[in-house]
Amino acid sequence: MTGEPGWYPSVDGPPGELQWWDGSSWTGEYFPVRRPQAELRPTPPRHRSRTPQLVAFAIIAVLTWGGLTWWKASTGPPPLHEQSLLPLDVPASAAPAGSTLEDAEEFARAFESERDENRSYVSSAATLADAFGSTLVWYDPQEPRLCSHHDDIDRANVTAWYCSLTPHLITLNTDSHHYPELLYSAELVDTVAHELAHKIIDERCGDTEPGVALGIAEGVTNSYAVLYLGASRDRLQPPSGYESEYTMTDATDRAAASIHSGICEAE
Ligand SMILES: [Zn+2]
């Protein structure tokens, strides 16, 4: 095999994982990096302290991630928002292993978000994501572009994203105008529900913009998050006077219901 160096579906890792091709051979670098089994809970960015726990976490992380340099362990951990590959230590699976999408959606509708010990909604958001087999990660501008179609997004105004190439990750955008304030707002959980809706629609229809949602996909995704994942319509609806592609209407609700019942193409 020849080809441009880059991240490609991994040849010897689990499905959904990417592996770095250096142009002539596969390297030992994977994305996302294989998850360390650490019992430590990182604190949100800007409010972290360099506790021994975090240093220990970094060391464990370095031992686990062959690709990182020893430098990071010897100088203490980088800020959490720079550890884009660092999955949160999510409490034991919120939905039982092997549960169906229907079970996870039911869990989401009954789920009540709350502030965690850091007064943020990060733990609630991570628990919700975990119910769908997803993990929250922080965007790191140093990381290679994984979703080429994200090159042209308005990075300052997008709070999070879902990428079909890494369907089990939800990336929180540290470049957003709303970051890190978003972490301390219940809107974080609604944002994660929106990204989970992208994932569900992608899984069910093989496309985040199936025919039935064509041209109104963001609004349909919001409708899906509200109708089936318990997200707040008030918080996800753009304010009146600021209608956008995210605005929910009867049409987006109908399209979301259609997708939920397994119909992806326009009639
Ligand atoms: Zn979206």
Point out the domain boundary residue: 17, 51, 83.
83
- Same domain assignment for residues 76 and 120: no
Better-predicted residue by pLDDT, 44 or 126: 126
- Cα gap 17→144, rounded to integer Å: 14
Buried b (16+ CB within 10 A) or exposed e, 209-221: bbebbeebbbbbb
Q: Which chain residues have CB less than 5 Å from ligand 1, an ion?
A: 218
Q: Are residues 51 and 122 in the same domain?
A: no
Q: How confident is the model at residue 26 (pLDDT cuts 50, 70, 90)?
A: confident
Q: Which residue has the higher pLDDT, 112 or 82?
A: 112
Do 96 and 226 share a domain, yes or no? yes
Q: Is the pLDDT of residue 74 over 80?
A: no
Contact between residue 42 and residue 80 where contact means Cβ atoms under 8 Å apart: yes
DSSP state at residue 89? -
What would the pLDDT profile of 125-158 be if each residue is shown by its tens digit?
999 999 999 999 998 777 666 665 555 667 788 8
* pLDDT category of residue 24 using cuts at 50, 70 and 90: confident
CB atoms within 10 A of CB 42: 22
DSSP at 79: P
In a shared domain, residues 226 and 122: yes
Which of 63, 83, 103 delimits the end of a domain? 83
Q: Is 160 in the same domain as 48?
A: no
Least trusted range by pLDDT, from 1-10, 32-41, 165-174: 32-41
How many domains are contained in the chain? 3
Within a 13 Å sphere around the CA of 107, how many CA atoms are in the beta-carbon half?
19
**Same domain for 254 and 157:** yes
Predicted local confidence at residue 139, as pLDDT: 86
- Tell me, what's the pLDDT at 48? 39
- Same-domain check for residues 114 and 245: yes
Last-in-domain residue among 21, 48, 83? 83
pTM score over 0.85 = no
CA of 133 to the centre of ligand 1 (A): 18
Q: Tell me the percentage of the chain whose pLDDT exceeds 90.
A: 51
Task: Answer yes or no: do 57 and 183 share one domain.
Answer: no
Which neighbouring-strand residues pair with 169? Answer: 135
From ligand 1's centre to the CA of 180, what distance in Å? 19
* Same structural domain, 7 and 78: no
The residue range of the domain holding 156 is 90-267
Question: What is the per-residue DSSP string for 219-252?
Answer: HHHHHHHHHHH---HHHHSPPTT---TT---HHH
The answer to whether residue 37 scores a pLDDT higher than 90 is no
Residue 161 C-alpha to ligand 1 middle, in angstroms? 7
Closest CA to 145 of 172, 168, 163, 170: 163
Whether 28 and 41 have beta carbons less than 8 Å apart is answered as no
103 and 131 housed in the same domain: yes
Q: How many angstroms does the Cα of residue 158 sit away from the middle of ligand 1? A: 9
27 alpha carbon to ligand 1 midpoint, in Å? 33
- Name the band, by pLDDT with cuts 50, 70 and 90, for residue 267: confident
pLDDT at 142: 74
Residue-level pLDDT at 83: 38
Verify that 21 and 69 share a domain, yes or no.
no
The one-character DSSP state at 11 is: S
CA atoms within 13 A on the CB side of 86: 26
In angstroms, what is the span from residue 160 Cα to ligand 1's centroid?
A: 8
Instruction: Assess whether 132 and 252 both reside in one domain.
Output: yes
Give residue 228 CA to ligand 1 midpoint distance, Å. Answer: 16
Q: Which residue has the higher pLDDT, 245 or 72?
A: 245
Distance (angstroms) between ligand 1 centre and the Cα of 163 equals: 10
